[in-house]
Amino acid sequence: AAYFSDVPQAPPDGILKLSVLSRADSDPAKVDLGVGAYRDDHGKPWVLPVVREAEARLAADPAFNHEYLGVGGLPALTDAAQLLILGSDSPAIAQRRVYTIQTISGTGANMVAAVFLNQFKRPADAAVYISKPTWGNHRSIFETAGHVVREYRYCNYDTLGLDIEGMLADLRNAPNGQIVVLHACAHNPTGIDPTESQWQQIADVMAERGHFPFFDCAYQGFATGDVDRDAYAIRLFVERGFELLVAESFAKNMGLYGERTGCLHAVCKSADVVPQVSSQLNRLSRATISTASAYGAKIAATVLQDPALYQQWLVSMLEMSRRIKTMRDALRDRLVALGTPGSWDHVSNQIGMFSFTGLSRTQVAALRDQYHLYMTDDGRISVAGLNSHNIDYVAKSIDDVVR
Ligand code: PLP
């Protein structure tokens, strides 16, 4: 028998399967609302002007080379990323109790955190609680790292808003000291974020139960166009005295998807545990990637450190988040104008890259097979895939299948 003959087939990845189907469809009417990547109004990927400028500067720099980064990554990036996520006035940074390591984008930050927590979590049998639903990779990452994964209620599937009561009850009823994965902003796949007062309630329950927060922040600045507003929850928890981990991705907010640029931040209780924590995170990173990728890190660091580029970057994020918001409103308005059965305000009210439309599996399949419109089976659309050229077609198609 073949050495690997007992290896069971892995379950298919919904998103990857969807992009294969979409790529194979050459119908001119096709609209791909699957992949979570920003598109401009012509449906094309967008290289941010500041990224082009940073690349030009790197290309012109005679000192540029392709040497390995150090084990913690590029200090110019990790320092700037820390300030971006925690705020330049963060007491935790001033007290030198934060360690930041560069990772393979947000996914790598999740994985390093998951392995680290599995080795050092207290109690040792703590489970990891993820929202129902969540980014498809969360369960896979935390289970691969050896955790038991449980869910807390999050989406109210009737209203397509937040089930705050269910969420608080599940966190309150969990044993003390569990690990709770929270989306810092622009929740994937639902586009539903807690309000500031709901975050305070969540923090209250987490403190009461001694839960450990793990923030996954894949969309800072991309949700509202304001990097500080999108970091509200993280900074609230730090202010409340929580120790926590934050996974930060520059894939979406800088459009550096394939360059795999991200960081993991560990906010510790005090400066004296930082050497232990940093040594273990470095060891784990060394064992898996040895050193992080340099090119995207140099681009991101150039943008974050140059005041003029930084300001331009904020403008580009505002432009991306505004275009998405415009498309949300445009879709809602068209469905309302068509008299499409159901209420569509949630499409406008949700935030970030995605909208959880509430379309059923059957409707999603009909849209794919009869209208060349691609979205995930749970009815999630990437709003960035909508534009002024396809919005009427998308609204009319949805209207047809809902009737
Ligand atoms: N976490 C969440 C919630 C996401 O939505 C994503 C991207 O879709 C990621 C993490 C990781 O993205 P990346 O590894 O490209 O930074």
Q: Is 224 in the pocket of ligand 1 (CB under 6 A)?
A: no
Q: What is the mean pLDDT of residues 371-399?
A: 97
Query: For atom 16 of ligand 1, which residue has the closest CA?
Result: 106
- Residues 146 and 118: beta-carbon distance below 8 Å: yes
What integer pLDDT is reported at residue 11 of this predicted model? Answer: 87
Report whether pLDDT(261) > 90. yes
Q: What is the pTM of this model?
A: 0.97
pLDDT value at residue 14: 81
Q: Is the pLDDT of residue 233 over 90?
A: yes
Mean pLDDT score across all residues of the chain: 97
Per-residue pLDDT tens digits for 312-350 = 999 999 999 999 999 999 999 999 999 999 999 999 999
- Residue-level pLDDT at 13: 82
Summarised one tens digit per residue, pLDDT across range 58-93 is 999 999 999 999 999 999 999 999 999 999 999 999
Evaluate the omega torsion of the peptide bond into residue 189 and state whether it is cis, within 30 degrees of 0. yes
How much distance in Å is there from the Cα of 253 to the middle of ligand 1? Answer: 11
Residue 35 confidence (pLDDT): 85
Q: Tell me the average pLDDT across 99-124.
A: 98
- Mean pLDDT throughout 369-390? 97
Quote the Cα angle for 355-357-362, to 5°: 135
Tell me if 53 CB under 6 Å of ligand 1: no
What pLDDT does residue 12 have? 83
**Per-residue model confidence as pLDDT tens digits over 156-202:** 999 999 999 999 999 999 999 999 999 999 999 999 999 999 999 99
CB < 8 Å & 24+ apart, contacts of 388-391: 388/41, 388/330, 389/41, 389/42, 389/43, 390/31, 390/43, 391/327, 391/330, 391/331, 391/334
216 is a catalytic site residue = yes
Per-residue pLDDT tens over the stretch 11-58: 888 888 899 999 999 999 999 999 899 999 999 999 999 999 999 999
178 lines ligand 1 (CB under 6 A): no
Selecting among 32, 163, 193, 216, the annotated active-site residue is 216
Residue 322: its pLDDT value, please?
A: 96
Q: Is 135 a catalytic residue?
A: yes
